Amino acid sequence: MKKRQASLFVGRWQPFHKGHKALIETVLKKGKPVVIAIRDTKLTHKNPYTLAERAAMIRKALKRYGSLVKVITIPDIDEICYGRDVGYRIRRIYLDADTEAISGTKTRKKHPPTHPIIWLTGQSGSGKTTLANILKERIGAVLLDGNEMRESVSLGAGFGKRERTAHNMRVARLAFVLARQSPVIVSVIAPFESTRKKIDAMIKPVWVYVKRDIPPRKTYPYEPPKKPHITVDSSAHTGEVNAEKILKFLK
């Protein structure tokens, strides 16, 4: 028996919404197989879902079609090229106006992270890690520690402004994803105001400025935040006292 040829759909599927489902079902309802290719996009505010999460969304939404659906991953392409007589068709599928209007962006806005992201910023040695560990135990949060992040998501990164900013943004994207499951505490210096503004635009964390009487160091510049949500002083108070102050603010 001749094997049926399939239709290919390529997209980010960030997230996989009703409009996507309706599009692919125009083929599936005719009993024709489909291959759904997920572009391996970087995690950002606009692309917050991992490959595994997107694949799970697709399989769940199209579960009823069973083996007619195959999900694969491809690199993050920016174009599809073809020559003459390629042996297949390229066609656009038109949906009704209401279905076309369904937006993945709107869907993302309806499903922001359900848990808070608490970002502790302050100079190295200000007491961020001690405070972060106390908060982690008190609220059952995931902790993203600066040193651990440099040994994982930013392995080999330097300490220049550009590399520090790239490191901070990688941590911010990870925090955004994790905050859909539990509270997240980030204990990363984030020394530059311009970088913190970029983080604000992406994930809107609760900024906690951890102060301490530490002489400034030229090799490790730090710009104190102008308007943090809350400021705690490690020189004047213990980690437990500062943790209580943060928890009261969160409530």
Task: Tell me yes or no: is domain 117-250 CATH 3.40.50.720.
Answer: no
The CATH T-level fold of domain 7-108 is: Rossmann fold (3.40.50)
Question: Which residue type, as a one-letter code, is found at position 245?
Answer: K
pLDDT confidence of residue 89: 78
Looking at the chain, the domain(s) classified CATH 3.40.50.300 span 117-250
- Distance from C-alpha of 147 to C-alpha of 28, rounded to nearest angstrom: 49
pLDDT confidence of residue 106: 52
Count of CB atoms situated within 10 Å of the CB of 226: 8
Looking at the chain, the domain(s) classified CATH 3.40.50.620 span 7-108
- Distance from C-alpha of 179 to C-alpha of 96, rounded to nearest angstrom: 35
| Residues 120, 141 contacting (CB under 8 angstroms) | no
Burial 136-153 (b: 16+ CB within 10 A, else e): beebebbbbbbeebbeee
Sequential pLDDT tens for the chain (251 residues) = 456 789 999 999 988 888 899 999 999 999 999 999 999 988 776 677 788 889 999 999 999 999 999 999 999 998 888 777 777 777 777 776 556 555 544 545 555 667 899 999 999 889 999 999 999 999 999 999 988 888 877 777 777 888 888 889 889 988 988 888 889 999 999 999 999 999 998 889 999 999 998 877 777 789 999 999 999 999 989 999 999 999 999 98
